């Protein structure tokens, strides 16, 4: 089946620094990718939709200047957490649908556990 690879799987950074997380579709092209955030013992909350060749679409309440998204190619989307603070510590996970519309099957990356100290 389709594979989505996310890197790194975990990262610890100092407060005030920036962290980049990569999401790659390994055997299919994804014009759209999604970024989610999951707090401990909670559900996944959609942060933004990454669109290849255009600006990302952010969900209400998500700071676009803090969570920079770049969809540089049909197989790669990156999420950069800028000037990270402890409250940004969370589990970030990306997904990529293998097609278009609701028929698409969404495959998820392994997730990135970010800890800001």
Partner 1 sequence: AQKVTQAQTEISVVEKEDVTLDCVYETRDTTYYLFWYKQPPSGELVFLIRRNSFDEQNEISGRYSWNFQKSTSSFNFTITASQVVDSAVYFCALISNFGNEKLTFGTGTRLTIIP
Residues 6 to 25 in contact with partner 1, rule: CB under 8 A: none
Q: How far apart are CA 106 and CA 95, in angstroms?
A: 6
Q: Would you say 14 or 103 has its CB closer to partner 1? A: 103
Q: Which of 34, 78, 79, 81 binds partner 1 (CB under 8 A)?
A: 34
Give the integer Cα–Cα distance in Å for 82 and 27. 30
Question: Is residue 4 a contact partner of residue 108, using CB atoms and an 8 Å limit?
Answer: yes
Using the rule CB under 8 A, is 105 a contact of partner 1?
Answer: yes
Query: How far is C-alpha 16 from the chain's CA centre?
Result: 20
**Among 14, 41, 60, 117, which residue sits at the site for partner 1 (rule: CB under 8 A)?**
41
Token output for 70? 């770049």
Q: CB count, 10 Å around CB of 16?
A: 10
| Least distance between partner 1 and beta carbon 60 (Å) | 13
In the complex, the residues that contact partner 1 under the rule CB under 8 A are 1, 32, 34, 41-44, 46, 49, 91, 93, 95, 97, 100-111, 113
């Amino acid at each position: 089946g389709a594979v989505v690879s996310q890197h790194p799987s975990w990262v610890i950074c100092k407060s005030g620094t920036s962290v980049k997380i990569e999401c790659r579709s390994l055997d299919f092209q994804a014009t759209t990718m999604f970024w989610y955030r999951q707090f401990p013992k909670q559900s996944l909350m959609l942060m933004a939709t990454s669109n290849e060749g255009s600006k990302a679409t952010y969900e209400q309440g998500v700071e676009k200047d803090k969570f920079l998204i770049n969809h540089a190619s049909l197989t790669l989307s990156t999420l950069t957490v800028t000037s990270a603070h402890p409250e940004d510590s969370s589990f970030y996970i990306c997904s990529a649908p293998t097609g278009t519309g609701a028929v698409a099957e969404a495959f998820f990356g392994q997730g990135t556990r970010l800890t800001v100290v």
